[in-house]
Amino acid sequence: MEQYVMKGGTPLIGSVNISGAKNAALAIVAAAVMSDEDVYITNLPDVNDIHVMLEAIKEIGAKVVRPDRHSAIINGSTIDNLVVDYEFIKKIRASYYLLGSLLGKYKQAEVALPGGCDIGARPMDLHTKGFKALGATVDEGYGLISAKADRLVGTHIYLDKVSVGATINIMMAAVMAEGRTSIENAAKEPHVVDVANFLNSMGAEIKGAGTDLIRINGVDHLHGTEYSVIPDQIEAGTFMYAAAATHGEITVMNVIPKHLEATTAKLLEAGCRIAEGDDLVTVSAKDIELQPTQVTTLPYPGFPTDMQPQMTVVLGLANGVSTVTESIFENRFKYVAELNRMGAKVKVESNIAIITGVDHYTGARVDAPDLRAGAALVIAGLAADGLTTVDDIKYIQRGYEDFTEKLRGVGASIEKVDDERALKKFVFQVS
């Protein structure tokens, strides 16, 4: 089984190029099939989730050409199947974006019902509420969810909870509906805005993305386009927090600093120094003592839930007691038990982690329960004394392009190994 093995204790210093945003790219690939002309997407992250989504649209008949690992030319004119196979939803929940895009274009779609995952139940009730409001019949049963409509007619939709997925899925279902749709209490994440900008570049008429009221004028046709995906603010944040935890200095390049405001603000509260450029942010934690603080995850522009594990790892090394409150997902502290095996002192009560800072972590063999927790445990291993191995790295590879290469680029002693021999070789080399 593939593992990451690392030797901690070295401050990470240098700069790292940030890839395209996974959570924008997944929805953009799904939306690209809504045109019958060539859609040329660049700055795609080369991560497993994107590979799976591209496979899923090929499977239903779309043409996909890959000029290079960061781009794709998609043409939806040859789609001949509106049922997305279970294997894709099993691999990535975001395949459910094909429900919105195929329903919006063909007035019909069926995907397997995504199960829960490690961080929570993750229901789809708001997605289906939107589809039904637009006039679709939605059936759930036998592990499938199907939507069908004679006509999709614009309407007002109020989202009871702020949901990134539901906002994006309903937006796609509404862009070719008849008349006007408004989505109230919409998610404002940068990737929601990116998907709206992408659809508008195809001829959609969407206004207000990035606010809590998105207004859509249905159009009959979406034409081809060329579009570049925004940078990944969670990948950027992950490297910024690695600098903090290892008392290093890292510059994340090709970012949009505005998307990182909450992530950066918490590093400032923790005592780090921050310098911002037009498309870069430098985090320095050299010779500083990390300070405790309080964090609550919230929908954008609040502190992102996808940075919650990385925040806990940094505060676990602060000089005092901090709290991290997870308000988005009901089960996103599973990694804490693994972090405590590395010497952290974190107690979870309901949805609050109470973190008593320690002087240092100690290396251990740990397990990655999900994507962001896995990345956070790697950060802990790079800060720890001694050797750490992280198992189950398939989660991490879903969302981080060239993770070990980028970390080695800022001085980390880390390798991906796939057997005992390779593990022993790394241990020998670093001893």
| Sole binder of ligand EPZ in the list 123, 302, 386, 409 (CB under 6 A) | 123
Q: Decide if residue 166 touches ligand EPZ (CB under 6 A).
A: yes
* 117 among known catalytic residues: yes
What tokens appear for 71 in the block? 């781009």
| Sole binder of ligand EPZ in the list 110, 306, 367, 415 (CB under 6 A) | 306
The SS3 of residue 80 is: coil
- Tell me whether residue 328 is annotated as binding: yes
| Sole binder of ligand EPZ in the list 161, 221, 223, 273 (CB under 6 A) | 161
Minimum CB distance to ligand EPZ smaller for 12 or for 53: 53
| Sole binder of ligand EPZ in the list 51, 91, 122, 148 (CB under 6 A) | 122
Q: How many helices (H) and strands (E) does the chain have?
A: 15, 24
Q: Which residue is closest to ligand EPZ by CB?
A: 165
Which region, left, alpha or beta, applies to residue 329 given φ > 0 means left and ψ of -120 to 50 means alpha? beta
User: Which residues, 6 or more positions from 145, have their beta carbon under 8 angstroms from its beta carbon?
Assistant: 96, 99, 110, 111, 112, 113, 124, 128, 138, 139
Token pair 């509260």 in the structure block, residue: 269
Which among 97, 64, 65, 58 has a CA at the least distance from the CA of 81? 58
DSSP codes, 204-272: -EEE-BTBSEEEEE--S----EEEEPPB-HHHHHHHHHHHHHTT-EEEEES--GGGGHHHHHHHHHTT-
Minimum CB distance to ligand EPZ smaller for 187 or for 236: 187
Residues near ligand EPZ (CB under 6 A), total = 23
Q: Decide if residue 7 touches ligand EPZ (CB under 6 A).
A: no
Q: Decide if residue 140 touches ligand EPZ (CB under 6 A).
A: no
State the amino acid at position 186 in one-letter form: A
**Candidates 13, 73, 113, 117; catalytic one:** 117
Minimum CB distance to ligand EPZ smaller for 372 or for 406: 372
Residues 187-226 that bind ligand EPZ (CB under 6 A): 187
Minimum CB distance to ligand EPZ smaller for 125 or for 279: 125
- Tell me whether residue 38 is annotated as binding: no
Contact 22, 72 (CB under 8 A): no
Whole-number Å distance between alpha carbons of 20 and 86 = 27
Rounded CA Rg of the chain: 22
Contact 296, 327 (CB under 8 A): yes
Burial 371-400 (b: 16+ CB within 10 A, else e): bbbbbbbbbbbbbbeebbbbbbbebbbbbb
State the amino acid at position 400 in one-letter form: Y
Minimum CB distance to ligand EPZ smaller for 300 or for 426: 300
Q: Decide if residue 26 touches ligand EPZ (CB under 6 A).
A: yes
Q: Decide if residue 127 touches ligand EPZ (CB under 6 A).
A: yes
Measure CA of the first residue to CA of the last residue in the chain; give whole Å. 23
| Sole binder of ligand EPZ in the list 328, 339, 368, 412 (CB under 6 A) | 328
| Residues 329-368, mask of contacts with ligand EPZ (x by CB under 6 A) | x---------------------------------------
CB of 123 to ligand EPZ, least distance (A): 4
State the amino acid at position 129 in one-letter form: K
Q: Decide if residue 372 touches ligand EPZ (CB under 6 A).
A: yes
Q: Decide if residue 126 touches ligand EPZ (CB under 6 A).
A: yes
Minimum CB distance to ligand EPZ smaller for 187 or for 353: 187
Binding site for ligand EPZ (CB under 6 A): 23, 26, 94, 120, 122-127, 161, 163-166, 187, 305-306, 328-329, 371-372, 399
User: Can you say which residues are annotated as belonging to the binding site for phosphoenolpyruvate?
Assistant: 22-23
Known catalytic residues?
Answer: 117
